[in-house]
Structure 1
Amino acid sequence: MDSTLFIIGIIGNIISVLVFISPVKTFWRIVRSGSTEEFEPAPYVFTLLNALLWLYYGLTKPDGLLIATVNGFGAAMEAIYVILFIVYAADQATRVKTAKLATALDVGGFGVVFAATTFAIRELDLRIMVIGMICACLNVLMYGSPLAAMKTVINTKSVEFMPFFLSFFLFLNGGVWATYAVLDRDIFLGIPNGIGFVLGSIQLIIYAIFMNSKASQSSRETAEDGGQASEPFLASNDGYGQGEPSSSHVRCTV
């Protein structure tokens, strides 16, 4: 394997871990307050499904150890987030909604993909290709999830609803894996991460435009005075599946 590709893949995995642990602050707030408040469970449930599928992909690939390792970590973190969301749900309706969503997607959805690819597709290369394409499609959808936060920032003229470090890590993640894809000529890796890099760039530009606005300054002053700013869109930007330094045609990506 080319040493440059290997190094870029390792860097990508490190950034992917940072993306997976980025919601820790949000859930520390949830645990301390004893309520999920206005946070939405869908991003965490969806990210868990994505991590599970990439874990399955890594275990299926002959050289997918790094994929399986980083996404195994991601799946464990997202499972903890989902469990905490159920435990600290703001009300019974939210608890039931989260449990149903997790059962349908993380158990049912993953189970369908696993069963279909395991028993219906006998050829290993084709199975790897199908799983990789499904994962790539999910990553495109996940990279698009911050659009809601960007719309809110523009409407409120405040970056209160767009956590900088999470946006920054997503930008780096997309850029690293898009670079890897270009060097390795891998379209399945390049498309979702190229889109992620573009969206991440847009997020950072919007952040730079509104970070010094009066609305943003007011939010910071409120926090300094002891008030607790609302951050419902922290949940909309959470972690994605990851990649590895491998020479196969389909790779995990963040």
Structure 2
Amino acid sequence: MDMGLQGKVAVVTGATANIGRAIALDLAAEGALPVLAGRDAEAGARLVADCKARGAPEAVFVAADMLDPASPAAVLQAAETLGPVAVLVNNVGGNVDQGLFVDSDPTKWMADIDLNFGTVLRMTHAVLPGMIARKHGAVVNIGSTAALVGDYMLPVYSAAKGAVHSFTVVLAKEVGAHGIRVNAVAPYATIPTDPASLSAGSRFNPETGLFSRGTASVSEEDRALRQRRTFVGRPFAKPEEMAAMAVFLASGRASFITGQVYAVDGGALL
């Protein structure tokens, strides 16, 4: 199936791990020109090579911490060496802390909000003028099912992802007249299966990741409240399953879809 992405410049933030990496590889397989933003230069170099092997005519890694307000301009500048940005995937996000809100550290609240929502605002703000001028573009935001139901022990993260979903809807209303579509994917419990996707910044990294550090302190009761049942024969999703939806929404095949938030959850929210 031709997705209409051949030769199109596609920016992916948080590209070196998990869902972001899978999205980058799927875009590459469609012949897009991925611009890969991330903090892990070694993982970025591997990903560039993998993207070219998958079929990307060219791919560029940009070493950028998206928490830095200067990073979007640097990413955009690197992207425009390949051509005008046609696709933006705001994938960067994660968890700064976990636990009950009453026990949370107020000094960490803004870190969760900025990582998951501020990064989306800044990168989108950087690419929109060019998309508006060209009357063409697709923005795909990676939200979370946490925003739809509230993930137990992740209160601020859930709220920040809710903001991503709301922003998706209102931005679609604003920019539709300029030929730009805006949609979101809400993943559920996506666990990387490929060791190559565990970059230094991944929350699943066994040495540095938040989930690895915090698992021992979670009680059995807490585990039960956090776990939902799926209806597809396994409890967790694969990054490739999220990527499939994201790349579809970025493609010409989704030309009549905008302002939507799609849960890819294996039926967990039923």
* Same fold per superposition (TM over 0.5): no
Q: Name the TM tier (shorter chain).
A: 0.3 to 0.5
Which structure shows the higher strand fraction?
A: 2
What's the TM-score once normalised by structure 2's chain length? 0.32
How does the TM-score come out when normalised to structure 1?
A: 0.34
Please identify which structure carries the higher helix content: 1
Q: Which has the higher contact order (CA 8 A, sep 6+)?
A: 1
